[in-house]
Amino acid sequence: MSKEKFSSRRKFLLTTARAAGLAGIGALVWSSMLEESTASSLILRPPGALPEKDFLKTCIKCGLCVSACPYDTLKLAAPGDHKPMGTPFFDARDIPCYMCTDIPCVPVCPTGALDEQSVSTDGELDINLSRMGVAVIDSSACVAFWGIQCDACHRACPLIDEAIIIEYDKNERTGKHAFLTPVVVNDVCTGCGMCEHACITEKAAITIIPRDVVLGHAGSHYVKGWDKKDEARIKDATGATTHTELSKQSALDSLNDDSELY
Ligand code: SF4
Ligand code: SF4
Ligand code: SF4
């Protein structure tokens, strides 16, 4: 092979190798972007966010909600966050939503991805209507369930004694102490995350999870007969309904009553 031919063949091979390398890197970046865009359903969105699928279709990633937040709660997802790129989210352990009464992050949204109606009553904004997620307690890690006195999450909650209540129980192990344990009221909790932010354990024992991930749905054919509000759901029932009435007997009496069993 002549010297010229060898050098042009070498150039060709080098160019091909570089192009293949770049294509490889491009494919790697693209696949990681795809991975980020489809990753984790455990994302906390700003107040008033549409359901996740609609939110992703509607949010134009302008960042106006992020700029409007006075507490730096909201961030736009960047590479490495493992969330759809450019979409707003918050990490409650780091900075929770401080439940601003004027909810500045919502009205600025130009597309309705943050729906003002969903956080308003009679045209007035009401942050207590927001449902960013729901607090879930890991009773194996929460020290209050061990009998140690802690109510940090309860005290941090802006809806104290409404969204988190404290239940009292006798500590049978010591016989002379009480358990004072936090319980989340799912219907009232906004998912602001102030409880998760305040939790004293190394990794929070109370965590905010998107509501559709964690909450169940009994279906319209099960109706709580003792709850007038729940009876309204009968209107939506499609098949036979099952009524559960409040028993007049104590639990122990019911268990000891043979006629109930056979
Ligand atoms: S309600 Fe306030 S703290 Fe919460 S995300 Fe909106 S602007 Fe930020
Ligand atoms: S203001 Fe609305 S459209 Fe803009 S990033 Fe926030 S949610 Fe998305
Ligand atoms: S997330 Fe926590 S602090 Fe916020 S309303 Fe729910 S229980 Fe209260």
- pLDDT tens string, the chain, 262 residues long: the values are 444 544 554 454 444 445 444 444 444 444 444 445 554 579 999 999 999 999 999 999 999 999 999 999 999 999 999 999 999 999 999 999 999 999 999 999 999 999 999 999 999 999 999 999 999 999 999 999 999 999 999 999 999 999 999 999 888 877 777 899 999 999 999 999 999 999 999 999 999 999 999 999 888 788 888 887 777 776 655 556 555 555 566 655 655 655 444 3
Q: Which of 56, 58, 60 to mutate to test the pocket of ligand 2 (most atoms within 8 A of CB)?
A: 60
In this predicted structure, what is the pLDDT of residue 242? 57
In this predicted structure, what is the pLDDT of residue 255? 55
| Structure token digits, residue 99 | 């439940």
In this predicted structure, what is the pLDDT of residue 218? 86
Cα separation, 31 vs 40, whole angstroms: 15
Question: Residue 6: inside a domain, yes or no?
Answer: no
In this predicted structure, what is the pLDDT of residue 31? 46
Task: Specify the residue with its C-alpha closest to ligand 3, atom 6.
Answer: 189
Question: Residue 228: inside a domain, yes or no?
Answer: no
The separation between the first and the last C-alpha atoms of the chain, rounded to the nearest angstrom, is: 98
Cα separation, 189 vs 92, whole angstroms: 14
Residue 84, Cβ neighbours under 10 Å: how many?
Answer: 20
Give the CA distances from residue 246 to residues 91, 177, 219, 225, 261, in Å, rounded to whole numbers and listed in that order: 41, 32, 19, 7, 18
In this predicted structure, what is the pLDDT of residue 200? 98
Whole domain around residue 148: which residue ranges? 133-209
| Cα 46 to ligand 1 centroid, rounded to whole Å | 7
Q: Is 218 exposed, middle or buried (0-12, 13-18, 19+ CB in 10 A)?
A: exposed
E-strand ranges in the chain read 75-76, 88-89, 120-121, 124-125, 134-137, 164-171, 177-184, 206-209, 222-224, 242-244
Question: Residue 186: inside a domain, yes or no?
Answer: yes
Task: Specify the residue with its C-alpha closest to ligand 3, atom 8.
Answer: 157
Residues 114 and 31 in one domain: yes
| Structure token digits, residue 163 | 């969204």
Residues 100 and 188 in one domain: no
Task: Specify the residue with its C-alpha closest to ligand 1, atom 5.
Answer: 97
Question: Residue 225: inside a domain, yes or no?
Answer: no
Task: Specify the residue with its C-alpha closest to ligand 2, atom 6.
Answer: 65
Ligand showing the shortest atom-to-Cα distance for residue 108: 2
Question: Residue 223: inside a domain, yes or no?
Answer: no
In this predicted structure, what is the pLDDT of residue 27? 46
Q: What radius of gyration do the chain's Cα atoms show? A: 27
DSSP 8-state symbol, 28: H
Residue 237, Cβ neighbours under 10 Å: how many?
Answer: 14
- How many whole angstroms from its chain centre is CA 234? 29
Q: Check if 59 has its Cβ closer than 6 Å to any atom of ligand 2.
A: yes
Q: Which of 55, 59, 132 to mutate to test the pocket of ligand 2 (most atoms within 8 A of CB)?
A: 59
| Structure token digits, residue 86 | 């450019």
Give the CA distances from residue 237 to residues 8, 187, 220, 232, 234, in Å, rounded to whole numbers and listed in that order: 77, 21, 5, 10, 5
Indicate the pTM of the whole model.
Answer: 0.77
DSSP 8-state symbol, 5: H
Name the nearest CA neighbour of 205 among 171, 131, 154, 132: 154
Cα separation, 219 vs 242, whole angstroms: 11
In this predicted structure, what is the pLDDT of residue 176? 77
Question: Residue 262: inside a domain, yes or no?
Answer: no
Cα separation, 154 vs 204, whole angstroms: 14
In this predicted structure, what is the pLDDT of residue 83? 95
Total number of domains in the chain: 2
CATH number at residue 177: 3.30.70.20
Question: Residue 123: inside a domain, yes or no?
Answer: yes
Q: Check if 19 has its Cβ closer than 6 Å to any atom of ligand 2.
A: no
Residues 125 and 157 in one domain: no
Question: Residue 119: inside a domain, yes or no?
Answer: yes
| Structure token digits, residue 222 | 């099960």
